[in-house]
Amino acid sequence: MTDLAPGDAARLLALAASYDNRRPDDTGAAARSWARALGGLRIDDCIEAIHLHYRDSTDFLMPAMIRRLATPLANERARLDAREQRAIAAAEPADPETVRQSAARIRSIIGKFGTMPA
């Protein structure tokens, strides 16, 4: 499992502090601890987990709470990614004649305007 970077963990601590007024840790020890405790999670899932936590709770946030909320977010993203990959793999390849016609239309538009219209 890969640790979150301490800089990312510091961002998470700063976000939590914006909600609960925790004191900054100038030594970086808290960021290193949080980075290790949240290893394997993506920063965006952790950020969303912090917002979710404070939306419904007044409890002081700890890494275990972030992990509990971020893990289902990560699992859902992985499920959707896998579904998307299956759909791409199952898609029929583009008809070469349709591709040629579309490319010709695009070239024609660019020729008229000198650039693609906005």
Q: Which residues of 15-36 are buried (b: 16+ CB within 10 A; e: fewer)?
A: ebeebeeeeeeeeeebbeebbe
Tokens of 40: 């394997």
What is the average pLDDT value for the chain, to the nearest integer? 89
Question: Which residues fall within 8 angstroms of residue 78, CB to CB, at 6 or more apart?
Answer: none
pTM of the model: 0.69
Amino acid at 19: Y
Give per-residue pLDDT as tens, 82-116: 888 887 777 777 788 888 888 888 888 887 776 65
